[in-house]
């Protein structure tokens, strides 16, 4: 999985006025926690954070703080302003190479479905899947070949198998399908 480097400034826990002052300066208050780690409070530039949040890709974050310490972590939770849609707060979760990580990984649909060539319409329902695995085994994206997908058939999460990672979504989660169209139904009736 791809890594992304972020730099943060250590901060003290403050009241609402302190947090609002950070946001006016273009900084996002953040929190880092994990096993064997006391909570670390820091801020990151909103502009720098957009490199991780405004992309469909998933990243392992290499976080360097102003006290010189470096952490390997993932984005755990993001809070956005309901109107302005800017990031208000981010929680990071510290991860290690020897423990499994649960993370959302984007899907990559490949091939041209046989059902679409026969007049059906392709529909994709899920953009990413939650997977669990060791850091070294996590892929940048999950490839799904739809070449053999017929009209009226679907691909569900239970159909997918990948080496060294487990899919955490329910097995019945529909990934994609080829729906019959009026044109394909008329052609089949003749």
Give the per-residue pLDDT at 11. Answer: 82
Write the pLDDT tens digit of every residue in 157-178.
Answer: 999 999 999 999 999 999 999 9
Task: Report the half-sphere exposure of 116 (CA within 13 A, side-chain side).
Answer: 14
For residue 182, pLDDT over 80 is answered with: no
Nearest to 61 by CA among 91, 38, 40, 23: 91
The whole-chain average pLDDT of the chain stands at 89
Contact between 125 and 98 (Cβ < 8 Å)? no
Q: For residues 159 and 171, what is the distance between their CA atoms, to the nearest angstrom?
A: 8
Span 97-115, average pLDDT? 92
Give the per-residue pLDDT at 16. Answer: 81
Q: Which of 19-23, 73-77, 112-116 has the lowest mean pLDDT?
A: 19-23
For residue 187, pLDDT over 80 is answered with: no
Contact between 102 and 131 (Cβ < 8 Å)? yes
Contact between 12 and 41 (Cβ < 8 Å)? yes
Domain coordinates in residue numbering, the chain = 3-94, 101-189
CB-count exposure of residue 157 (10 Å: 0-12, 13-18, 19+): middle
CB-count exposure of residue 52 (10 Å: 0-12, 13-18, 19+): buried
Q: What does the block give as tokens for 72?
A: 């390997």
pTM, to two decimals: 0.81
Write the pLDDT tens digit of every residue in 57-101.
Answer: 889 999 999 888 899 999 998 989 899 888 889 999 999 888 999
Give the per-residue pLDDT at 185. Answer: 67
Task: Report the half-sphere exposure of 9 (CA within 13 A, side-chain side).
Answer: 12
Give the per-residue pLDDT at 147. Answer: 92
Second-level CATH architecture of 101-189: Beta Complex (2.170)
Q: E strands within the chain?
A: 3-10, 27-34, 37-45, 60-65, 70-80, 87-94, 101-110, 121-124, 128-133, 142-145, 154-156, 166-167, 174-179
Length of the chain in terms of residues written: 190
Second-level CATH architecture of 3-94: Beta Barrel (2.40)
Please indicate whether residue 183 or residue 167 has the higher confidence score (pLDDT): 167
Give the per-residue pLDDT at 24. Answer: 87
Contact between 123 and 177 (Cβ < 8 Å)? yes
Span 118-138, average pLDDT? 92
Nearest to 122 by CA among 58, 71, 169, 181: 181
Q: For residues 7 and 39, what is the distance between their CA atoms, to the nearest angstrom?
A: 17
SS3 track for 43-89 = EEEHHHHHHHHCCCCCCEEEEEECCCCEEEEEEEEEEECCCCCCEEE
């Amino acid at each position: 999985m791809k890594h992304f480097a972020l730099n943060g400034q250590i901060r003290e826990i403050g009241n609402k006025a302190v947090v609002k002052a950070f946001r006016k300066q273009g900084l996002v208050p953040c929190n880092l926690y994990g096993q064997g780690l006391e909570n670390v409070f820091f801020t990151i530039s909103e502009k720098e954070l957009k490199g991780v949040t405004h992309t469909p890709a998933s990243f392992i974050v290499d976080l360097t703080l102003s006290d010189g310490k470096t952490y390997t972590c993932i984005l755990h939770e993001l809070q956005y302003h309901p109107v302005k849609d800017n990031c208000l707060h981010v929680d990071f979760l510290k991860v290690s190479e020897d423990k499994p990580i649960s993370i959302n990984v984007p899907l990559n649909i490949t091939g041209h479905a046989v059902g679409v060539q026969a007049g059906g319409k392709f529909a994709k329902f899920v953009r990413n899947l939650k997977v669990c695995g060791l850091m070294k085994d996590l892929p940048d994206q999950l490839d799904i070949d739809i070449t053999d997908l017929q009209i009226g058939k679907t691909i569900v999460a239970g159909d997918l198998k990948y080496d060294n990672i487990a899919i955490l979504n329910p097995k019945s989660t529909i990934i994609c399908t080829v729906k019959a169209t009026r044109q394909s139904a008329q052609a089949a009736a003749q």
